Homo-oligomer: A and B are copies of this chain.
């Protein structure tokens, strides 16, 4: 195994977030399920945008947010995802590169526009997402650069990649290359409804050893095992996964291995403004800690630190250096 060029390389849907505030009545009127992500077509995207209040645009995408978080910790990071060569695609590429992430996926020159996620933030800080995949649907196995994958210590993949038609093949190709090069593969289950769409395939990936590190929140885990019993789900997870981290919002997280299930508390915060990116940034902190050889509890505390930063402001990416925050708390030295 050669020296790694990247600490973490992420593959995911390249998405620009379009964020607006609204009351719960907006979700009801639009038939949206609070706290979840729905896939929408272009016509529905237009209808939602027309109904939304004034919005701000900022780069997003689950795995992309994670990778920006990894870079903010000072680690070497790369991202693979598909935009179109339009204004929002240019903004996505600018923002991720300006965050010190290597991003070399060729933009689509034609076809659907860059993916957008219409995010409604309710007064409780919860976010409800509607994603128009657009150009992200065109991610192909050909976009996976074998050398880049093989030179990343950890390859991080989002469950959302199961939605676009060919991205799943890109996912499988990347996982095979990574393991062939002696690297680790991490997966986030992304969303409870996403788990509902691809439950059998995700379980297969976990059980057949494709996934070395699994990230899930409580809702996703319960959806995975089709149960309402958290403890029972964790018990099953211990026999299925090598290493899994289940996040539980303000209750912290549980690090699950075949040997034990270890609870780690959430970081204290003053006020939740917008939970968008919480899970993504948790994964960033955990992956950085893990790649630096920290124990699982310390890695989870780095995850909690990053999640706490991002939920205290609007937007899914950190506004301050996570490296500095981690050093202040003596979690990375």
Contact = CB atoms under 8 A, between A and B. Distances in A.
Interface in A29-85: 49-50, 52-59, 68
Nearest to A57: B57
A55 B87 contact: no
Nearest to A95: B54
A55 B94 contact: yes
A279 interface: no
Contact of A54 (B52, B57, B317): B317
Contacts of A315: 56
A319 interface: yes
Interface of A: 20-21, 49-50, 52-59, 68, 86-88, 91, 94-96, 98-99, 113, 315, 317, 319
> How many copies of this chain does the complex contain?
2
A27 to B, nearest CB: 17
Contact of A49 (B59, B94, B319): B94
Given A53-B98, A54-B58, 11 more contacts: A20-B98, A50-B94, A52-B94, A53-B99, A54-B98, A54-B99, A56-B56, A56-B58, A56-B315, A57-B91, A87-B88
A30 to B, nearest CB: 14
Contacts of A50: 94
A317 B20 CA distance: 13
A210 to B, nearest CB: 32
Contacts of A52: 94, 98
Contacts of A88: 87
Contacts of A99: 53-54
A91 B19 CA distance: 12
A55 B319 contact: no
A23 to B, nearest CB: 12
A107 to B, nearest CB: 14
A50 B97 CA distance: 9
Contacts of A86: 87
A86 to B, nearest CB: 6
Contacts of A317: 54
Contact of A57 (B21, B56, B96, B319): B56
Given A87-B87, A87-B88, A55 B95 contact: yes
Contacts of A319: 21
Contacts of A20: 98
Contact of A58 (B21, B53, B57, B95): B57
Contacts of A53: 98-99
Nearest to A59: B54
Contacts of A59: 54
20 contacts: A20-B98, A21-B319, A49-B94, A50-B94, A53-B98, A53-B99, A54-B58, A54-B68, A54-B94, A54-B95, A54-B96, A54-B98, A54-B99, A54-B317, A55-B58, A55-B91, A55-B94, A55-B95, A57-B91, A87-B87
Contacts of A113: 87
